Structure 1
């Protein structure tokens, strides 16, 4: 991702409805798990690493590009710069890997998943979020260096392999999908931008409602997957 987009993300991360709700989703996924060592791939502004630390995990932030590593360092994170398809970690050395909005940026996503399997301890977890539905492909994806958008079938094929148990796959941002689809048709670049506080609150209210509605199997904008190493 270009430096300007990384900076935009970092500036928006604290209050933007999208990132606030995703931190909530991560925290919810961690409840009931015994804290250990967690690898946060694509740490950037450090929002997910902060959630991990607040919930008792030893977080290892990892970033590939210099802009993301610089932002993480500015926020006090001891970040590792490395390619996710060649992780600089020992076999079976972490209890959890978080990869939110990462796999779509990596040409060798299969190699990355194999590396995650290698570094995870038995019964360790792999939490994944990816943009979904190729029909939503737009200039936004180009601007933020996406290589693909996944479907349930392609993400299942990537994650459901010998040595992994695919525990769940759910859709997110279902209620706002029609709005996103319409906006993306007119998109001429990244959608990362500061919103009017009232608009931000309205969108946050809508996406928060998804927590309580039976919509997780309907088409959305993002797919979340929870995988366990057996």
Structure 2
């Protein structure tokens, strides 16, 4: 992702429906855990890092981009610049490692998975969110610097290959998938991350939030969310 896209994403992060609902998702999944030491790998502007901090975690964000790291640090978050393929942290030093929409940017995602497992303590948790389904591949992915979108079996196999036990893997942003698929048929080169009218923004948040009470998590979505534990 180039610096212009990074700064655009940071400016949208507080209001845009997608970021807001992703923060709500992280909060819902992490709240039951006992706070400890956490690492947010590929933290971007730090929106999800802040969620962990607010839940009582001693959290560090790791970010490769100097622009994104600067934005997160400017928001008062603890940030380290580094490479997700070679994390600058000791073995078994983290209780939680979270990566939201980062693995798809790295060609060698196996190295990222191995490093996630390495720095987790026994009993530590991994939370990984990635874009789902190569049938949704479009100019949006190209503009954001994606290398791939994931299929469920592929993601599970990758995580299990590094010795983590998958607790569950669910789809997210399911109800809006047909809309995204139709739109992306005509999208050749641009990111979809843009300002949305407040009324539309609120409606889209309602659509995503409705998934919490509907038994549809096994259906295809725009994203996959995986939770794993280190045995």
Pairwise TM-score range, normalised by the shorter structure:
over 0.9
Q: Tell me, yes or no, if the aligned pair for 2:36 and 2:58 is still in contact at 8 Å.
A: yes
Q: Tell me, yes or no, if the aligned pair for 1:98 and 1:126 is still in contact at 8 Å.
A: yes
Deviations 1:75-100 (A, max 9, x none): 22231110101000001111000100
The equivalent of 1:195 in structure 2 is 196
Scaled by the length of structure 2, the TM-score of the pair is 0.97
SS in 1 for 2:70: helix
The equivalent of 2:158 in structure 1 is 158
Q: Tell me, yes or no, if the aligned pair for 1:131 and 1:150 is still in contact at 8 Å.
A: yes
Q: Tell me, yes or no, if the aligned pair for 2:168 and 2:228 is still in contact at 8 Å.
A: yes
Deviation at 1:132, TM superposition (A): 0.7
Deviation at 1:31, TM superposition (A): 2.2
Unaligned runs of 5+ in 1: none
- CA distance in structure 1 between the partners assigned to 2:80 and 2:16 by the alignment: 26
- CA distance in structure 1 between the partners assigned to 2:27 and 2:204 by the alignment: 20
5 Å-filtered alignment, 1:202-217, equals 202-217=203-218
- CA distance in structure 1 between the partners assigned to 2:49 and 2:21 by the alignment: 15
Scaled by the length of structure 1, the TM-score of the pair is 0.98
The equivalent of 2:185 in structure 1 is 185
The equivalent of 2:79 in structure 1 is 79
- CA distance in structure 1 between the partners assigned to 2:179 and 2:72 by the alignment: 32
Aligned residue pairs: how many? Answer: 230
Deviation at 1:162, TM superposition (A): 5.6
The equivalent of 2:39 in structure 1 is 39
- CA distance in structure 1 between the partners assigned to 2:8 and 2:33 by the alignment: 32
Deviation at 1:117, TM superposition (A): 0.7
Deviation at 1:123, TM superposition (A): 0.5
5 Å-filtered alignment, 1:1-230, equals 1-161=1-161, 163-187=163-187, 188-230=189-231
- CA distance in structure 2 between the partners assigned to 1:22 and 1:69 by the alignment: 20
Deviation at 1:161, TM superposition (A): 2.8
Unaligned runs of 5+ in 2: none
- CA distance in structure 2 between the partners assigned to 1:6 and 1:162 by the alignment: 30
Deviation at 1:163, TM superposition (A): 2.6
Q: Tell me, yes or no, if the aligned pair for 2:175 and 2:221 is still in contact at 8 Å.
A: yes
SS in 2 for 1:90: coil
